[in-house]
Structure 1
């Protein structure tokens, strides 16, 4: 059965909307049979009902922004028209209060605010008209307590705004929860795959490496380069397998007290030669020296990965800035580069298996980083702009 975006399935939609259309048509027929003289208001009423019926009925087949906006506007016009044509009853006013609720059904933020602000502007303008121009001649029931109606109307709009914001927050939380489930499922699948094939692949690679080294030494200089190239590619394959294994079997090392400043200096010592090869400087700024509880080995593995990514995305002569600062009960380590940066689309899928911006990358390095941070109740976020650079912010709870 066909599903509608933000609405019930087609059968339920046809049933409910069909009942609404029949009620609107009955209203037109009732006017036709009870009034002796049919004026322009009757024909206008009939036309608005017809347009609404067509839009509502064709919506499941054409779920476009134009159709959704048209339904919202035409239903608003219909209820406004009922209030204007039949001033002797205030029941249409109750429905007018909930016109923005139509946009909530579509879960469309822009349409909701357009409907809300438009409804407030139209109704308040009409109230001013009744007070200054009509003065109770036609809309005598409304004129009796305009202030009361105004207060109740505005209260209903505030209530609808609150409901919309609450729904929007819940939908956003559900979306984040769903994305997290997807990431966990991908990680689980990757781990199972790694556990199944990594060892079986590593054994023949080790044998091949041994024979290549053995026969490579006996080759002339011009052919020896080919053997060196093959060995280098096999080492790359081994690194990928090692990353697979670290995902499949996370290390169960014990946590220890890690001094942030001292540990980052150790990491910089490890990575300094690689940075100098690319003529890139790394500057460490420690505003607040803190201690955290984690594995020193995994801490180093985390930041070696982050620093390598920053170096590889930077241009020759650039400076990478590493800033450590305290934010309440968390320590933030921000690694900033001025490299190629990333687009919004790339940021959305970074850290997923087999997605990498590097030609020979696998995406597993960052995935390991995410796992390490999560293991110690930390967070990792990326703020990047294409052609400007990237800020990677890693936060850990401070030992109190």
Structure 2
């Protein structure tokens, strides 16, 4: 299968790879002519490298994997080093070796970049040290003139590549975060439109049915076992009304009173409410906070947000686990982390989180977390969820801190 997400255009990829293969082949022909058409061992090795790299690059779109990418990087690196050792008098080959770590950057693979960078530095510096020990100025003319200068310039290029990679990686993360926020906003908008279209129409008949059931429930002539059935129906109708209320709160959030909220006080209140619920499974909730922070929001919505998040953490935890609530300040923001060591989630499950009616709970609706996202977005906050199956989940909520001059 062709990874269209990685390759913007398969035609463009084939064209570039075709030119690259032609250039390598042309170099092979020129060397063959320069060697008086003699097929030496070094020529055969170069021929094998060219064929191997060509085959790997041609097959790559259909066989893309981490191991396959690593094979391409190793093969191309070995080819560049081989060419440098075979033609040490050509300084351009040293420049080519300097940019070997760029190859894994094209694959957007962090681990391969660092492995390639460290390997490139180790091998190249080892070659330079070997040249310093072996007196061959006629062969290694460029290196021989200034070994230390060559080594320093090489290390400088590797440091520059590292800096550019870190900058590129930071921008990629910012783009991913922006993309996640856009997706979440689209989910909220879609759910809001759906709620506005159907919620009111569903609520009216439910209210009528509920009223008649309550009327008959009080009929003394009915047997008790029939009344139990009525009670069950009322409970289920209440569940349906709760879901509709959640939908309406997403479709048209109510006007809320803004106030200065003490994070420390509000979190302690939430913990007091949930400690009894948590202790049913002997789950402990610990709060770590160096100092208090103040944010501007509605206290009821703040509590609703963290009640939902903490309940999720409790229900995902195992008997006797400890849930950590860690609060830290970072520049103009306060970060509130909820860390559990429960069942965790897979990558696919994390991508579905926040989708209407998607829940990992048996009777969950998936609307609770959507309301959490809506509250966080309302107060210019951010939410980040990290999770791994069998290792637990870490939810980080960030809110802007109230500045003194804004009070």
What band does the TM-score fall into relative to the shorter chain?
Answer: 0.7 to 0.9
Paired residue total = 398
Residue in 1 that maps onto 2:24: 24
Residue in 2 that maps onto 1:361: 364
**2:220 is the counterpart of 1:239:** no
Could you tell me whether the CA contact under 8 Å between 1:325 and 1:331 is conserved in 2?
yes
Residue in 2 that maps onto 1:161: 162
Which whole-Å deviations, capped at 9, do the CAs of 1:194-250 have from their partners, x for residues lacking one? 010001000000111111122233320111111110110000000000000000001
What residue ranges of structure 1 are gaps of 5+ in the alignment?
Answer: none
**Structure 1 pair 149–372 and aligned structure 2 pair: CA distance change class (3 A):** same
Report how far residue 335 of structure 1 moved.
Answer: 6.0
Which whole-Å deviations, capped at 9, do the CAs of 1:51-70 have from their partners, x for residues lacking one? 22222222233223333222
**2:169 is the counterpart of 1:171:** no
Could you tell me whether the CA contact under 8 Å between 1:380 and 1:395 is conserved in 2?
yes
The CA RMSD over aligned residues, in Å, is: 3.5
What residue ranges of structure 2 are gaps of 5+ in the alignment?
Answer: none
Residue in 1 that maps onto 2:203: 202
Match of 1:254 among 233, 254, 257: 257
Within a 5 Å distance, the mapping from 1:287-366 to structure 2 comes to: 288=291, 291-306=294-309, 308-309=311-312, 312=315, 340-343=342-345, 345=347, 346=349, 349-366=352-369
Could you tell me whether the CA contact under 8 Å between 1:280 and 1:320 is conserved in 2?
yes
Within a 5 Å distance, the mapping from 1:221-232 to structure 2 comes to: 221-232=224-235
Structure 1 residue matching 2:260: 3-state secondary structure = strand
**Structure 1 pair 32–184 and aligned structure 2 pair: CA distance change class (3 A):** same
Which whole-Å deviations, capped at 9, do the CAs of 1:45-87 have from their partners, x for residues lacking one? 2222222222222223322333322222222222222222223
Whole-angstrom CA distance in 2 between matches of 1:321 and 1:43: 62
Report how far residue 18 of structure 1 moved.
Answer: 1.5
Structure 2 residue matching 1:59: 3-state secondary structure = helix
Within a 5 Å distance, the mapping from 1:140-151 to structure 2 comes to: 140-151=141-152
Report how far residue 270 of structure 1 moved.
Answer: 6.4
**2:63 is the counterpart of 1:62:** yes
TM-score, length-scaled by structure 1? 0.84
Structure 1 residue matching 2:296: 3-state secondary structure = strand
Whole-angstrom CA distance in 1 between matches of 2:34 and 2:278: 88
Whole-angstrom CA distance in 2 between matches of 1:71 and 1:318: 45
Identify which range, 350-359 or 12-21, moves more after superposition. Answer: 350-359
**Structure 1 pair 5–386 and aligned structure 2 pair: CA distance change class (3 A):** closer
Within a 5 Å distance, the mapping from 1:376-395 to structure 2 comes to: 376-380=379-383, 394=397
Whole-angstrom CA distance in 1 between matches of 2:172 and 2:100: 22
Residue in 2 that maps onto 1:217: 218
Whole-angstrom CA distance in 1 between matches of 2:393 and 2:29: 66
Which whole-Å deviations, capped at 9, do the CAs of 1:279-325 have from their partners, x for residues lacking one? 88878888745554322332343344345445655678988777777
Structure 2 residue matching 1:185: 3-state secondary structure = helix
Whole-angstrom CA distance in 2 between matches of 1:209 and 1:30: 89
**Structure 1 pair 97–290 and aligned structure 2 pair: CA distance change class (3 A):** closer
**Structure 1 pair 347–68 and aligned structure 2 pair: CA distance change class (3 A):** closer
TM-score, length-scaled by structure 2? 0.83
Which whole-Å deviations, capped at 9, do the CAs of 1:247-286 have from their partners, x for residues lacking one? 0001122312345566567667766886788888878888
